[in-house]
């Protein structure tokens, strides 16, 4: 079918309104009027109204002729591919569109209203293609190929796309002999779960301003978790040097993964190349935010697991179909991460896993807090509960027997490092009052408790690096340069704490250089994977130690003392031998005089530091086995107590408890804030959130129809428990915890619902309507 479109698709029963606008502003983010003045141009994007179609022609002449329009851009001038692990998309579509919202053309004009008007003048002729809207169907030979050229794409060496298919990555685990183990099982559980797409919904929408100078140098200001990745990927797509691409990233107003990598930023850059000297601003509307920015992948998961009569897990067989959307530059690694973590935090001798990353004609899947682990654990931890119940064993005891401990053989064949998971389990069970059932608050309510374990490794390449610098001013005060972003999680605070402790100065003396600027900030891979405290932290410590060493060596020479007798305490260089002391003031810039006025020693002190793990090994593509698949795992447990209203199905979370092994809590209050925030976000995804898709069209692209948890939904008490079993290569033994507290919430709530009313579901959200109808079908209510 061939159709022509001359304006964005209007709202209908099954199609979102692409031209509707909810009032949002990005002026506060960049101070547009002050920084850019009247030179600022406003960009708007013409997006595909179809889930899957071939582009026959694009006519932009009428739009170009509209007064106030300065540029109209299509994919014609941008043939390069862009992507993190898999380069599978153009900046603007060239030959076909692959989801509703795919960028087809861009307009820059003197006002946003004129840019909107210009979009309606662009004529696009499409040939409609059959969409793929189910990932399980998408792997079949009957499904339309969404990327026929998949075998020609550039891809990371550890990603395994399957040519002539919709499978952009296929990850396998083959540990032991699963088939022969089933006969030895006293109990077996088999279940299928469907986890929906959800949106990150940061309060600050995506926004970017791009400007190209007369020499071709590009500056991009963006709300970004990944300024260095954006520099690299956009430069590659444009065929320019990374040194000609500069990214400046101020504080981010919420990210949760949605502002990692490149989504809309490259559009602003591409448009800006056509209006050299003029800054171009692109701001997503709230509606666009729901389906044109990254979404969390959907998942269809099959679990089969068995144990013996004593509760020992014997076998597990999993199959994951990840609905990663139209482009899977991030989805391929999420698929891999779910594969190498597919046993959950349990030692299982026989495991078979098939994890597929599948192209569909849905919005683009990207990283979201937990990176595949909340989706995978949602079903796995319910099956663990069911298995324990089948053999009549307490669910906490069952987990105590099977959870990974130091030396456990992991699903990839390596050994587990020291972990406090067992402590997390026991402390969480105690905190929630496991084994003691309280009375419901009313006759029409039922009360239940549920618990779930989790583990998560940083999902990253084996060589993701961090760097930092430490510079001292004349008065001894310290500036720390980092490339990792602060999203509200407190990474700048922790960086300052680490620098102060490693250097030997008060915390109040330290500030972090902001905003992040790829021209001046030290390199950081990305602010994802809960890795900054560990990786960037190591770089900061190394930089501070380097500066410290310079100061002590200078002082040792000037004082004619042995280095081992010197220290820096509270901003003073002290000698334990001679008891001399001198403040850092001035000496860190001007140095110290030699004896008898024979010159000077030292000079301006700038410390450098870097960190990159060098021990992660490859995995066999057929078995997933290898010596060390990941840098480490953060482990934890979470429990909830809730009530179910029998008359309405309404769920009320009464209280929560959670314990996580963070290695070392550099800032305990920030750790507790992450535990609590992750619990609430996990609760929101469990009870309310679902991006409803029908035939490839998002049905609820606004807060009117997309419900998220608010302060009124938060339980009265969330007990946050910190467990500390040091990580061997973490700064002071620390490892990350930013994402982990969202991972076990869905199954903990699902298990508590079952404990209360005896029903289970094939996936979240556990809305009041769904709960009530399920109870009605089960005969629990009439």
pLDDT, averaged per 10 consecutive residues of the chain (782 residues), comes to 54 37 42 80 98 98 98 97 97 98 98 98 98 98 98 97 98 98 98 98 96 97 97 98 98 94 97 98 98 98 98 98 96 98 98 98 97 98 98 98 98 98 98 95 98 98 97 98 96 98 98 98 97 98 98 97 98 97 97 93 97 97 98 98 98 98 98 98 98 98 96 95 98 97 98 98 98 98 94
Pairing of strands 717-723, 651-661: parallel
pLDDT in tens, 128-169: 999 999 999 999 999 999 999 999 999 999 999 999 999 999
DSSP 121: T
**Domain 36-129+211-254+259-283 CATH superfamily:** Aldehyde oxidase/xanthine dehydrogenase, a/b hammerhead (3.90.1170.50)
Preceding omega of 515 cis (within 30 degrees of 0): yes
What per-residue confidence (pLDDT) applies to 31? 58
Residue 308 in contact with residue 238, Cβ under 8 Å? no
- Give the position of tokens 């410290």: 548
The Cα–Cα gap between 240 and 236 comes to 6
Residue 528 in contact with residue 256, Cβ under 8 Å? no
**Which H or E run includes 325?**
none
Q: Where are the beta strands (DSSP E) in 412-477?
A: 445-456, 466-472
The Cα–Cα gap between 104 and 344 comes to 41
What global pTM score does this model have?
A: 0.96
142 Cβ contact list (under 8 Å, min separation 6): none
Share of the chain above pLDDT 70, in %: 96
Residue 648 in contact with residue 660, Cβ under 8 Å? no
Helix (H) and strand (E) counts in the chain: 19, 34
Fold (CATH) for 298-460+618-777: Aldehyde Oxidoreductase; domain 4 (3.30.365)
Closest CA relative to residue 169, chosen from 374, 344, 320: 320
The Cα–Cα gap between 395 and 378 comes to 16
Residue 466 in contact with residue 523, Cβ under 8 Å? yes
371: phi > 0 → left, psi -120 to 50 → alpha, else beta; which?
left
Q: Where are the beta strands (DSSP E) in 501-595?
A: 510-512, 516-517, 566-569, 572-575, 581-583, 592-593
* Catalytic one of 397, 739, 769, 777: 739
Closest CA relative to residue 431, chosen from 286, 639, 590: 639
The Cα–Cα gap between 247 and 269 comes to 11
| Angle at CA of residue 80, ends 75 and 86, nearest 5° | 115
769: phi > 0 → left, psi -120 to 50 → alpha, else beta; which?
alpha
714 Cβ contact list (under 8 Å, min separation 6): 653, 680, 683
Q: Compute φ and ψ for 302, nearest 5 degrees.
A: -115, 130
Write out the two tokens for 581.
Answer: 């002391």
Q: Is 739 a catalytic residue?
A: yes
Write out the two tokens for 421.
Answer: 């998971």
The Cα–Cα gap between 705 and 701 comes to 7
Examine domains 2-28+464-611 and 298-460+618-777 and report if their fold is the same: yes
Ranges of each domain in the chain? 2-28+464-611, 36-129+211-254+259-283, 298-460+618-777
442 Cβ contact list (under 8 Å, min separation 6): none
Closest CA relative to residue 366, chosen from 335, 343, 344, 339: 335
Write out the two tokens for 628.
Answer: 């060390």
- Give the position of tokens 């002071």: 732
What per-residue confidence (pLDDT) applies to 271? 98
What per-residue confidence (pLDDT) applies to 8? 45
For residues 399, 381, 745 and 697, what is the CA-based torsion angle, rounded to 10 degrees? 170
The Cα–Cα gap between 713 and 689 comes to 13
What per-residue confidence (pLDDT) applies to 6? 54
- Give the position of tokens 């009439």: 782
The size of the chain, in residues, is 782
What per-residue confidence (pLDDT) applies to 256? 96
What per-residue confidence (pLDDT) applies to 555? 97
CB atoms within 10 A of CB 5: 19
Domain 2-28+464-611, second-level architecture: 2-Layer Sandwich (3.30)
């Amino acid at each position: 079918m061939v159709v022509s479109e001359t304006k964005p698709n209007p709202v209908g029963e099954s199609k979102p309104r692409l031209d509707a606008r909810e009032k949002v502003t990005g002026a506060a983010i960049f101070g547009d009027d002050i920084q850019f003045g009247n030179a600022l141009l406003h960009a708007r994007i013409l997006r595909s109204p179809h889930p899957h179609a071939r582009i026959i022609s694009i006519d932009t002449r009428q739009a170009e002729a509209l007064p106030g329009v300065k540029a109209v851009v299509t994919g014609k001038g941008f043939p390069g591919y862009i992507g993190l692990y898999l380069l599978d998309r153009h900046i603007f579509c060239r030959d076909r569109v692959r989801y509703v919202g795919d960028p087809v053309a861009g307009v820059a004009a003197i006002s946003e209203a004129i840019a909107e008007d210009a979009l309606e003048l662009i004529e696009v002729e499409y040939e409609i293609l059959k969409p793929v809207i189910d990932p399980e169907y998408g792997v079949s030979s009957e499904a339309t190929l969404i990327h026929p050229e998949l075998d020609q794409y550039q891809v990371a060496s550890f990603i395994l796309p399957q040519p002539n298919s919709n499978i952009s990555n296929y990850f396998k685990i083959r540990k032991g002999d699963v088939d022969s183990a089933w006969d030895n099982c006293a109990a077996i559980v088999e279940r299928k779960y469907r986890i929906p797409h959800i949106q990150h919904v940061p309060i600050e929408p995506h926004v970017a301003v791009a400007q190209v100078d007369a020499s071709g140098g590009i500056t991009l200001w963006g709300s970004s978790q990944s300024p260095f990745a954006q520099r690299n990927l956009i430069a590659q797509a444009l065929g320019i040097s990374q040194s000609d691409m500069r990214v400046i990233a101020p504080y981010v107003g919420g990210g949760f993964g949605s502002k990692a990598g490149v989504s809309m930023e490259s559009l602003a850059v591409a448009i800006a190349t056509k209006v050299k000297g003029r800054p171009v601003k692109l701001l997503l509307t709230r509606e666009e935010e729901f389906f044109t920015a990254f979404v969390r992948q959907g998942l269809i998961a099959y679990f089969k697991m068995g144990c013996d009569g004593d509760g020992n897990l014997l076998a597990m067989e999993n199959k994951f179909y990840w609905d990663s959307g139209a482009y899977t530059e991030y989805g391929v690694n999420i698929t891999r991460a779910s594969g190498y973590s597919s046993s959950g935090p349990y030692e299982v001798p026989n495991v078979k896993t098939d994890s597929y990353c599948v192209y569909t004609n849905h919005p683009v899947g990207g990283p979201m807090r937990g990176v595949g682990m909340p989706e995978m654990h949602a079903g796995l931890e319910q099956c663990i509960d069911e298995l324990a119940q089948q053999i009549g064993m307490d669910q906490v005891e069952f987990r105590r027997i099977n959870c990974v401990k130091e030396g456990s053989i992991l699903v990839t064949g390596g050994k587990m490092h020291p972990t406090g998971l067992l402590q997390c389990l026991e402390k969480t069970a105690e905190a929630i009052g496991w084994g003691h059932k309280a009375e419901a608050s009313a006759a029409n309510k039922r009360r239940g408790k549920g618990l779930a374990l989790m583990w998560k490794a940083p999902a990253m390449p084996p060589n993701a690096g961090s760097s930092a610098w430490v510079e001292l001013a004349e008065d001894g005060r310290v500036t720390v340069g980092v490339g990792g972003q602060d999203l509200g999680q407190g990474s700048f605070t922790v960086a300052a704490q680490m620098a102060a402790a490693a250097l030997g100065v008060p915390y109040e003396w330290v500030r972090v250089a902001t905003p992040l600027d790829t021209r001046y900030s030290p390199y950081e891979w990305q602010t994802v994977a809960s890795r900054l405290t560990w990786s960037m932290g190591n770089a900061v410590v190394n930089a501070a130690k380097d500066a410290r060493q310079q100061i002590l060596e200078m002082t040792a020479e000037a004082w004619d003392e042995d280095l081992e007798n010197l220290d820096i305490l509270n901003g003073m260089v002290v000698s334990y031998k001679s008891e001399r002391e001198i403040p850092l003031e001035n000496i860190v810039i001007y140095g110290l005089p030699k004896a008898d006025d024979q010159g000077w020693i030292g000079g301006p002190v700038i410390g450098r530091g870097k960190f990159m793990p060098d021990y992660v090994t490859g995995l066999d593509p057929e078995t997933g086995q290898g010596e060390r698949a990941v840098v480490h795992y953060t482990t934890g447990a979470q429990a909830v107590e809730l009530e179910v209203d029998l008359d309405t199905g309404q769920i009320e979370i009464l209280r929560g408890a959670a314990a996580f092994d963070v290695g070392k809590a550099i800032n305990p209050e920030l750790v507790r804030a992450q535990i609590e925030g992750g619990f609430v976000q996990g609760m929101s995804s469990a009870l309310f959130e679902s991006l409803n898709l029908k035939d490839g069209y998002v049905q609820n692209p606004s807060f009117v129809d997309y419900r998220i948890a608010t302060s009124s939904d938060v339980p009265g008490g969330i007990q946050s428990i910190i467990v500390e079993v040091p990580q061997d290569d973490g700064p002071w033994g620390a490892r990350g915890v930013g994402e982990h507290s969202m991972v076990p919430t869905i199954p903990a709530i699902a298990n508590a619902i079952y404990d209360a009313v005896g029903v289970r579901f094939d996936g979240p959200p556990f809305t009041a309507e769904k709960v009530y109808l399920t109870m009605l079908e089960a005969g629990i209510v009439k």
